[in-house]
Amino acid sequence: MIRHIVMWRVRGETPGERQEARQLVKESFEGLRGVIPGMLRLEVGLDSSAVDYACDVVLITEFDSQAALDGYATHPEHLRVRETLGNIRTARFQVDYQVDAQAHSEAQDTFAAGRELRQARA
């Protein structure tokens, strides 16, 4: 499995303009959920720290193979999102890495157990 993480800083003269830009990036990428062959997971987060060195948006996706990630890069819907966003992004950072399926499964199990424990306490 391949994890693909991208972070962006976005344009905006005012906090409101930046928030609108952040939301557009989020909604645009969330529209790809269930559309890209081999994409197993898609999550988009907006920064809440407000520190000056933070990125505004993070995209975390997982693909079943390198070939699926390569296909995503040229998929027409992904290209449409990139065109829609145009030059809204001022900086972009990316990391792609192999995820051990066993370690990923164990992490998911641990996360689910923690969530169940929190729900039981609530």
pLDDT of 101 above 80: no
Q: CA angle at residue 17 from 20 to 75, to 5 degrees?
A: 45
Question: What is the DSSP code (8-state) at residue 67?
Answer: H
For residues 47 and 25, give the distance between their C-alpha atoms in angstroms, rounded to a whole number: 12
Q: Which domain holds residue 76?
A: 2-121
pLDDT of 30 above 60: yes
Per the structure, how many domains does the chain have? 1
SS3 41: strand
The per-residue pLDDT for 108 is 59
The per-residue pLDDT for 113 is 64
Question: What is the DSSP code (8-state) at residue 13?
Answer: S
pLDDT in tens, 64-97: 999 999 999 999 999 999 999 999 999 999 999 9
Q: Tell me the CATH number at 76.
A: 3.30.70.100
pLDDT of 56 above 70: yes
